[in-house]
Structure 1
Amino acid sequence: MPSELLSPSLAIALSAYALGVASPGPSNMAIMATAMSQGRRQAMALAAGVVCGSFVWGLAAALGLSAFMLAYSWTMVLLKLLGGAYLLYLSWKAARSAWAPTASLQSAHVDAISNARAFAKGFGMHITNPKAIFVWFSIVALALPPDSRQGQALAVVASCAAIGACVFFGYAVAFSTAVARSIYLKTQRWINATLSAVFAYAGIRLWMSRSVS
């Protein structure tokens, strides 16, 4: 590994990324809820989708596509509209589950979604958020000096992706235990209501956010 990748700046950047992905947010809460309601396999699939979606934006930042998106601002607007709409759709689904009759709530965990659908949900949550590429760009800029090679930027992205995978898969495993699922069955109405509020807030915030300039 080049000496540049062993710098204090890299340690700070990786620490900042780790704190960011571990903090409560739509992706983490979706993984937790899926783990408790659907089980470990579906939660792992959703986590894999989140990791892959995030990694795509990381690669885009490392390859310089953030400059393209700034030059063609309509791409930002389009992705923000799509991303906000998708998050509000997830909010509506969570709200519908929260307000479902008690009998439906008690049997909801039996109707497991497929791994493919779980993966697509996680991937969609990240790939429709255009602000992610600028977060990645900031991480790379913090980790490396301006004259760094593209390969070094890709190495930083790969390191962050590995951290993200550990965090997201860790949530999937931790919240799919028998104890966690038992807690979910007793509190699923409140969990779904909270998840609906988080998705709605994230979607509206994405719509109202200004384009990066």
Structure 2
Amino acid sequence: MQDISIYLPSILLAYSAFFVGIASPGPNILAIMGTSMSVGRRSGIALALGVATGSFTWAVLTVVGLSALLATYATALVAIKIFGGLYLLWLAYKSFKSAMAKHDIEARQLAGGTRTPVGYLTRGYVIQMTNPKAALAWIAIISLGLQQDAPLWVGTVIVLGTFALSVVIHVTYAVAFSTPVMVRLYGRARRGIQTVLGCFFAFAGLKLLTSRT
């Protein structure tokens, strides 16, 4: 394994971008919250594991796809990082806009009635895999972690690390938000959280745009 100190900062930045992205509840997170509150913690955990598995699949596909692209066109990394930087700046804009909005988060149960745990697991996976924004987000996250001529283990570490984070964080949402009081508490802190997330996304986006190696 090559000197890890060369690649560790980029790997940690990719982890951080993934973490703060999950910290801002989107449709998948709200579905986990709503399922835990209305159906039960077990069903919420099953849905969370399905979403996490979908995230793992997207991560693998993105790393493999970008690695193959860079192996053929080394200069493509510059274009990928520009795209990733612009997408992160768009996420920063969305976070700041959410911070200024007056509405609170609203967790809802999935349509279609109650399912078995396997059914919720499958539904979570399908939801994540059919989310077009997930592909864009993963391109941005992986482009933060991959450097030109990075060895295979770098992509592997990013995939496995983000998968572990995904399982822990999504399951934590399912457990913690199995009661309405947690949703209310999160809603009160929403503006501050979204402001912090916006600052991070802006920092990460500018870093990608100004560092193209």
Match of 2:198 among 189, 196, 199: 196
Secondary structure in 1 aligned to 2:64?
Answer: helix
Could you tell me the TM-score, scaled by structure 2's length? 0.61
What is the 5 A alignment of 1:8-27?
A: 20=11, 25-27=16-18
Aligned residue number for residue 183 of structure 2: 181
Question: Which structure 2 segments of 5+ residues have no match?
Answer: 33-43, 111-123
Q: How many Å separate the matches in 1 of 2:188 and 2:57?
A: 32
Q: Please provide the CA RMSD for this pair.
A: 4.1
Deviation at 1:203, TM superposition (A): 0.9
* Alignment check: 8 A CA contact 1:53 1:124 kept: no
Q: Kindly tell me the number of residue pairs found equivalent between the two proteins.
A: 176
TM-score between both structures, scaled by the size of structure 1: 0.61
Question: 1:31 maps to which residue?
Answer: 22
CA-to-aligned-CA distance 1:2-54 (integer Å, 9 cap, x gap): xxxxxxx59x97xx98xx56986121112122279624278767655543343
Q: Which residue of 2 aligns with 1:96?
A: 97
Alpha-carbon distance, 1:138 to partner: 3.3
Identity %: 19
CA distance in 1, matches of 2:189, 2:52: 22
Q: 1:137 pairs with 146, 150, 163, which one?
A: 150
Task: Determine which of 106, 111, 114 is the counterpart of 1:109.
Answer: 106
Aligned to 1:209: 211
| SS of residue paired to 2:101 | coil
> 1:126 & 1:76 partners in 2: Cα distance?
15
Code of the residue aligned with 2:59 in structure 1: it is: S
Pairwise CA distance, 1:167: 2.1
Q: Is this contact kept in 2: 1:21–1:167, CA < 8 A?
A: no
Residue identity matched to 2:106? H
CA distance in 1, matches of 2:158, 2:78: 27
Structure 2 SS opposite 1:92: helix
Report the alpha carbon displacement of residue 80 of structure 1 after superposing the two structures with TM: 2.1
Distance 1:30 1:47, change over 3 A: farther
- SS of the aligned residue for 1:34 comes to coil
**Deviation (angstroms), 1:173:** 1.3
Aligned to 1:66, what secondary structure does the other structure show? helix
